Chains A and B, each alone.
Chain A
Amino acid sequence: GAVVSQHPSWVICKSGTSVKIECRSLDFQATTMFWYRQFPKQSLMLMATSNEGSKATYEQGVEKDKFLINHASLTLSTLTVTSAHPEDSSFYICSASGRSGGDTQYFGPGTRLTVL
């Protein structure tokens, strides 16, 4: 149980385009979803937290107009990187927590974004 999928697993795009990453909880209802960014050989950096039907809460220093987060249902959250630039290239990971799991977060497999 507690499986989270993420799509796509990797994406390459041109500078200036937008990219959407989907995060789905497959076998539980995710009341809260989280988006992280991980640079090579570093820890996870929380970007934002979203609750179903509410606006996302962004961490300090994260541009909410660049990283659009939508949590439309209890099983789906999306992260859209708008007008992507090479410095946005990174590994993006989503996680989800649900009522039954308490505070435990279950992670997706991640998406590697490369902006040319």
Chain B
Amino acid sequence: AQTVTQSQPEMSVQEAETVTLSCTYDTSESDYYLFWYKQPPSRQMILVIRQEAYKQQNATENRFSVNFQKAAKSFSLKISDSQLGDAAMYFCAYGQNFVFGPGTRLSVLP
């Protein structure tokens, strides 16, 4: 069975700075998807970024980018120019059966 680990229960970053959230996973599959979702206090899950395992190029969405290391089974999320609105729980997820990691609570300090 697949497992997803997020080793940082909590992180904080200064506004406008950069922060990296870690995620590792375990799978025997060769083709799969990985996701980062954000859950703000409203509890609405919001897709941040998506990576297809067969693509070597790291996905990027505006200020959000990933460092996907397939051999190491690592999928970290980098948030650049952090904003107050980035404060939320961040969940890493392995698809297709969507195994979620335990989450990292990100605080953004003004």
Contact = CB atoms under 8 A, between A and B. Distances in A.
Interface of A: 34, 38, 42-44, 46, 49, 91, 93, 95, 102-107, 109-110
Interface in B89-110: 91, 95-103
Contacts of A106: 47
Interface stretch (B11-19, B38-46, B71-79): B38-46
A110 B101 contact: no
Contact of B35 (A34, A49, A104, A109): A104
Contacts of B33: 102-104
B44 A107 contact: yes
B47 A109 contact: no
Contacts of B95: 103-105
A111 B64 CA distance: 29
B43 A34 contact: no
A95 B95 CA distance: 13
